[in-house]
Amino acid sequence: MEGVGWVRPWMGVYKINVDAGVLKGEPSIDVKAVISEDSKGNAYPGPEANLQIFPPQQGGDKGLGYQNISSSSEGGGPPPTNTWQGMFSVSSYTQYFNVDTDVVLNRLLSSLDPRTGDFFSKIEANPDLYGLIWISTTLVFVIAALGNLATYLIGSSTWSFNVSFMSLAATAVYGYAIVVPLAFYFLLQYMGSPASLVRFWCMWGYSLFIFILSCFVLVIPVEFLRWVVILLASGVSACFVASNLKSSVEGNDLMLVLVAAFVLQFALGLFIKLWFFV
């Protein structure tokens, strides 16, 4: 025996088919839902599932879900670093190491040409800290190793490897590469000139590259050649810093800043010569 019934709850209309078993006497019920046309328009629109949005939002286009805290809600840009939490987060600095070999080589070659003064325009879209760390670390090991080699080539019978060259070179190079750009950044901010700390660190880091090249020539035990090389290298590096820093200096009263940057960069070269390659 088969029976048909209609039930209309608040969500729609349901059609019920009932087949009664003759032998077993156990009814089998098949329930099919038929939603009327007027109920479709009044149905609650469920939010779309999105596992990238948190906290869950009621309604709206984004719907329910969770948001990844490592990405911004505007479309995947770099995470904000204007808070203390972002400052101590490693992910906040990954964007400053997103450079390939071609970009690094181009910036290294640019640091050897102080005439253009357009280094900031080249790194404006993507300033990096990779050059600062890599060049500074390389310079520390080169100074310590080649400085000891230079003293050995002099031919002294009492020569011994000077381990203190490593600690002294690390203190001088890292201290200069970090503290000096930081000091000029705060100075220019105080004077009202536009400045970017990351761009300063990037520029000063690449300015040390020429000292790596000069150290290999300073090994030659010819004092006159050593002085010529270190004076040329210091002059090129100092001009590179001053010419690029000029774009961040406004007004004649700030020309003293350029002179100070030139003198400090030149003094670093003289320090390398007088302390490690005597």
Whether the pLDDT of residue 69 is over 50: the answer is no
Higher pLDDT, 55 or 228: 228
DSSP per-residue codes, the chain = -EEEEEE--SS-EEEEEEE--TTT---EEEEEEE--HHHHHHS--PPPEETTB-S--SSTTT-EE-B-TTS-TTTS-PPP-SSHHHHT-GGGGGGGG---HHHHHHHHHHTT--SS--HHHHHSS---SHHHHHHHHHHHHHHHHHHHHHHHHTT-TT----THHHHHHHHHHHHHHHHHHHHHHHHHHHHT----HHHHHHHHHHHTHHHHHHHHHHTSS-HHHHHHHHHHHHHHHHHHHHHHHGGG--SGGGHHHHHHHHHHHHHHHHHHHHHH--
How confident is the model over 4-32, as pLDDT tens digits? Answer: 555 454 445 444 454 544 444 444 445 44
Model pLDDT, residue 251: 63
Model pLDDT, residue 190: 87
Q: Which of 152-156, 230-234, 266-270 has the lowest mean pLDDT?
A: 152-156
